[in-house]
Amino acid sequence: MSEVKNRTSMSLTPADADSEVVVQGWAQDVRNLGGISFLQLRDRYGIVQVTAPKKRTAPEVMEIMASLSRESVVRVTGTAKASEQAKGGVEVLPTRLEVLSAAAVPLPMGVIDKVNVEPDTRFDHRFMDLRKPEARAVFEIKSTVLALIDQYLVDNGFVEIFTPKLVASGAEGGATLFELRYFDKTAYLAQSPQLYKQMLMSTGLDRVFEIGPAFRAEPSDTVRHVSEFISFDGEMAYIDSQRDVQRMIEGCTQAVIGGVIERCQKQLELLGANVSLPKAPYPIIAYQDAVEMVNDEGMKLALGEDLGTEGEKLLGEVMARQGNEMYWIEEYPEEAKPFYIMEKDGTPYSYSFDLDYKGQEISSGGQREHRYDRLVARMEKKGLDPAAFNFYLEAFRFGMPPHGGWGLGIERLVQKMLDLPNIREAILFPRDRIRLVP
């Protein structure tokens, strides 16, 4: 007996003609035309056409064809046949058709219908939405992004770490903390690995990175804020200045975007995305100049104010005109930056930066205040109670090297790289003020 080959739409080629094959997937479309039935079978990689001429097909197979509901999962055993009309140049004439899981009727939403489905409907039935190859392509690209980051950081001597997501105090301001009961105590969901990655700088693990969930109770309903996202954090000791940190991010984002262009051709094509490698070195804009630039474009920002969504967008437009997709904004007023950022002595500024990509912040970071007394003073200035941070501060009292680092929102990077209209498109099951299921 000849071996029956289990095939995917990708591996099936005209060279398989006349051999017996098995294909499995979803019944994307079924047409029963009397004398002949067609089934478009979809798997992860594409479509296989199953063609059943009545005269040459077993009656029980024709019967199943006639009653098969769209999106049912089927297994087809049959003979491959070269065909000019079929996609991939090959079709399958079925000898056996098994329904592995029948789909109920009607479907909660269509997979191939060209009608515009509301985003809410799509996210309510995300499993169905993700049957669309272009919806899935985003996650194949996101997975490649994460693999490329891992590679770059490991090549640069970084150790991958995992810090607690259940924490006793937040590092990024009280307003966006999710509070929960932790036995008989109050705990919070971690907004970032900030305190822990810094504490590790006092251990000898002098280059660390983490890719993990971060939680923010963001009340704003925007296309770039969600309440759970994947944060890519790095921290490095013995830096001379924040430039060392910026160089690392620049190298990493170049490797990531270049790698996606190289490895994800098929997915980019599905999405119609035209990704180019941002010009490097990324230009540096001082915060003061950024304010001036957006004011020249018609905004009325005062010095010290946050650029905000509108300001970032306008700055993105100015930079795009100069052919720049990624650029730094630095020298932020220390007042606008968290307690852990180092002040620039004798000025109102700080050793901090943001990295913007096509008009949106994707990363921020800087040099940290590693001097215990200065750090405590900065906490007090920000209205924080140092006692609540004893576990963190202790690491600064017994030998803490100078250090700096960054946090980068993975979904914001993917969103801007692929020009997705909403960050939620880059999250399988997004969480926001309204959405907690699925």
The catalytic residue positions are 216, 218, 224-225, 361, 364, 412
Amino acid 317 reads E
- Which is nearer to ligand AMO, 103 or 146 (by Cβ)? 146
8 Å CB contact between 217 and 227: yes
The stretch among 66-74, 143-151, 218-226, 292-300 that binds ligand AMO (CB under 6 A) is: 218-226
- How far apart CA 259 and CA 145 sit, in angstroms, is 8
Q: Which residues have CB under 8 Å from 109's CB, separation 6+? A: 117, 121, 122, 125, 128, 129
Calculate ∠ Cα 157-160-164, nearest 5°. 145
Report if residue 242 touches ligand AMO, rule: CB under 6 A: no
Nearest distance from residue 206's CB to ligand AMO, in Å? 16
Per rule CB under 6 A, is residue 384 in the interface with ligand AMO? no
By CB under 6 A, tell whether 42 contacts ligand AMO.
Answer: no
Cα separation, 108 vs 122, whole angstroms: 9
Distance CA 419, CA 360 (A): 11
Position among 49, 192, 202, 367 found at the interface with ligand AMO (CB under 6 A): 192
Nearer to ligand AMO, 148 or 426 (CB): 426
Stretch in the footprint of ligand AMO (CB under 6 A) among 40-48, 150-158, 300-308, 407-415: 407-415
Contact between 405 and ligand AMO (CB under 6 A)? yes
Comparing CB distances to ligand AMO, the nearer of 331 and 361 is 361
CA distances from 77 to 21, 32, 49, 63, 96 (A): 6, 19, 13, 16, 5
Per CB under 6 A, 424 contacts ligand AMO: no
Q: Which stretch binds ligand AMO (CB under 6 A): 84-92, 108-116, 225-233, 314-322?
A: 225-233
Number of residues located near ligand AMO, criterion CB under 6 A = 23
Say if CB 54 and CB 34 are below 8 A apart: yes
Among 406, 418, 424, 431, binds ligand AMO (CB under 6 A): 406
Of 219 and 281, which CB lies nearer to ligand AMO in the complex structure?
A: 219
Closer residue to ligand AMO, CB minimum distance, 71 or 235: 235
User: Which residue in the set 7, 207, 216, 424 belongs to the binding site for ligand AMO (CB under 6 A)?
Assistant: 216
Residue of minimal Cβ distance to ligand AMO: 409
Contacts of 415 (CB under 8 A, 6+ apart): 224, 360, 422, 423, 425, 426
Residue bearing tokens 């049912």: 72
What does the binding site for ligand AMO look like in residue numbers (CB under 6 A)? 172, 192, 194, 216, 218, 225-226, 229, 231, 233, 361-365, 405-409, 411-412, 423
